[in-house]
């Protein structure tokens, strides 16, 4: 659109900033059914890009002037405009990373607060198995015997409770 003259250089640069936020929607949508780490990564990506656009909006015109000083030729020429926009986008991302790298621990804390740790739903767990001996079955034999014995006791207890409940007159 900028090359055709439909939007000027600052408008095209603003579209680039909007695109930086807009591309987060795909990561966010993909994370909806994903695990906690993917959800957190998508949220961190979004926060990182929104913070970048916020500081850029405060310095938008001075930043465009900086790009114009670095890039030879004028952005008003349609043949030179793509180079200015490419430098704008690249420089924005490099400066954004440089500014926000110090805030990564804070962003991570915010994301951990946003995407809470859910209690792990485990159907069963081995109380007696020691993970230091998992590599060799023969070392797990006594632990397995204890687990089976405990399972038998639990099953018997459940069955006894069942008999007790059903032996009562209704």
Q: Phi and psi of 73, rounded to 5°?
A: 75, 170
Task: List, for residues 106-165, the tens digit of each pLDDT value.
Answer: 988 898 898 887 765 555 555 555 555 555 556 666 777 788 888 889 888 888 888 878
Task: List, for residues 55-102, the tens digit of each pLDDT value.
Answer: 999 999 999 999 988 987 766 666 778 888 999 999 999 999 999 999
CA distances from 164 to 151, 153, 169, 170 (A): 20, 16, 10, 12
């Amino acid at each position: 659109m900028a090359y055709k003259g439909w939007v000027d250089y600052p408008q095209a640069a603003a579209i680039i900033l909007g695109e930086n936020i807009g591309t987060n929607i795909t990561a966010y949508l993909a994370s909806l059914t994903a695990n906690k780490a993917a959800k957190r990564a998508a949220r961190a990506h979004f926060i990182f890009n929104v913070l970048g656009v916020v500081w850029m909006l405060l310095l938008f015109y001075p930043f465009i002037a900086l790009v114009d000083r670095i890039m030879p030729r004028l952005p008003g020429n349609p043949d030179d405009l793509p180079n200015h926009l490419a430098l704008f986008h690249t420089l924005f991302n490099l400066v954004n990373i440089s500014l926000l790298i110090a805030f990564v621990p804070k962003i991570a804390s915010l994301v951990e607060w946003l995407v809470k740790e859910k209690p792990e739903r485990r159907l069963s767990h081995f109380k007696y198995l020691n993970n230091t001996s998992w590599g060799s079955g023969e070392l797990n034999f006594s632990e397995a015997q204890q687990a089976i014995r405990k399972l038998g006791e639990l099953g018997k207890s459940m069955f006894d409770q069942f008999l007790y409940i059903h032996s009562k007159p209704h």
